[in-house]
Chain A
Amino acid sequence: QVQLQESGPGLVKPSETLSLTCTVSGVSITDFYWSWVRQPPGKGLEWIGYAFYSGSTSYNPSLKSRVTISHDTSRNQFSLRLTSVTAADTALYFCARAIRNWDYFFDFWGQGALVTVSS
């Protein structure tokens, strides 16, 4: 059974860096692509990006200059780093497994971590 769990600070100050970790169980992170998706309060879903453990990445162009997704294969975790945050980055952040072959979709999701950007 594949399970994902987000963790990290729930409050980040403006201009600082948001950091979240997703711990994966039930499957090795080296076998799949892994993504982050966020959802501002009361709004829709926004794709942040995906990464493969080998270093292959793809980021939403609107966030690309501020985003890094990385992996820790020894802990079976992957992480999100978003720099220079503003109130507009306040959202529920989900980690998800991305199936990328001849198709592309997200088949397993974490429960989400709420991050508020406020001083």
Chain B
Amino acid sequence: QSVLTQPPSVSAAPGQTVTISCSGSDSNFGNNFVSWYQQLPGTAPKLLINSNDRRPSGIPDRFSASKSGTSATLGITGLQTGDEADYFCGSWDTRLHTWVFGGGTRLTVL
């Protein structure tokens, strides 16, 4: 069981908006930043968001994220079939002295 909790799956139609939640605790989200990763089928994870809400160069502004207390949310607008992937949140956990990932959320674009 992952330290960070994500829904196993979400789905939405092309063009719609979807949000993916990630729930943590004081020892990770409460004291540290959150990052989000996209893993397309058969590929390596790719950084989508760092520092809670910052998009690296080259990431479309359709992707956004926020953090409030011990919860974080990834939002994707204007869904495309190419957005079908697994999405992972992650953060450093100060109490466990380890990096922790969420269990991942599979996005299906219907």
Contacts and interface: CB of A to CB of B under 8 A. Distances in A.
A61 B56 contact: no
Contacts of B47: 105-108
B100 interface: yes
A85 interface: no
Contacts of A104: 32-33, 91-92, 99
A112 B101 contact: no
Contacts, number: 64
B62 interface: no
A57 B102 CA distance: 23
Interface string B28-53: 00001101010000011111001100
A106 B35 contact: yes
Given A37-B45, A45-B88, A104-B91, 5 more contacts: A47-B99, A58-B98, A103-B33, A103-B50, A105-B50
Interface of A: 35, 37, 44-47, 50, 58, 60-62, 94, 96, 99, 103-112
Interchain residue pairs A-B with the least CB separation, the first 7: A47-B99, A105-B35, A109-B44, A105-B50, A45-B101, A103-B33, A44-B104
